[in-house]
Amino acid sequence: MNPEAWLAETRASYDTVATSYADQVRHLLDQTPYERAVLAVFAELARTTGTGPVADVGCGPGRITAHLSGLGLDAFGIDLSPAMVEVARREHPGLRFEVGSMTELDLPDASLAGLAAWYSLIHVPDAGITPVLAHFRRVLRPGGPLLISFHVGDESQLKTQGYGGHPMHVHVHRRRPDQLATWLKEAGFTVEAQLTLTSAESRRGGILFARRRPDA
């Protein structure tokens, strides 16, 4: 699938479900203590790189952005879907949200103290992962932490309906932690920790902590 096709399908699908998606996930972190602990660790790591902005890439309705802000980070969100960004701005009016794509991050080099991609790589096809990770490396400061969460598995499925029964047309790609860790290492990151868990976020979720290598 060419980049324009899957990006257009993802944008259109999440524009369609933005409001109902926000309603379903708004209080999800209340049910997921391990994920809250993961985000707290990420916030601590980001603070070690000094002050500066932290990006929540693929932020959806902004719940993770808001949580990171509550942990003391200068967090802002980026999402492909204009409707999602509209919802995020409405629900979190004190925070900054921008429409943008992780395939072409419009951010200065080495400008971020940290970057989180919370279940937002799941629609990126395998061929698109390396360019996306190259953008993540470019915008992070040397030593800056990267947090990625994802669905664990080997298969990809076409999602045609979800979040209130609205029509969608997106592929959901499940991946093995070792494969994602290999991609990260090849992209100039040092993988520091990984874990799998089961929660309201994912029946089998994966978490990877990595840092941009100073020499990358």
**What CATH number has the domain bearing residue 205?**
3.40.50.150
| Residuewise pLDDT in 10s, the chain (216 residues) | 565 789 999 999 999 999 999 999 999 999 999 999 999 999 999 998 888 999 999 999 999 999 999 999 999 999 999 999 999 999 999 999 999 999 999 999 999 999 999 999 999 999 999 999 999 999 999 999 999 999 999 988 888 877 777 787 888 999 999 999 999 999 999 999 999 999 888 989 999 999 999 876
Q: For residue 175, is it within any domain?
A: no
CA-nearest of 63, 171, 81, 163 to 122 is: 171
Q: For residue 187, is it within any domain?
A: no
Q: For residue 177, is it within any domain?
A: no
Q: For residue 14, is it within any domain?
A: yes
Number of domains the chain contains: 1
Q: For residue 54, is it within any domain?
A: yes
Residues 6+ apart with CB under 8 A from 47: 72, 73, 113
Are 112 and 55 in contact, with CB atoms under 8 Å apart? Answer: yes
Q: For residue 31, is it within any domain?
A: yes
Q: For residue 11, is it within any domain?
A: yes
- The boundaries of the domain holding residue 109 are 3-151+196-212
Backbone angles phi, psi at 129, to 5 degrees: -65, -45
Q: For residue 190, is it within any domain?
A: no
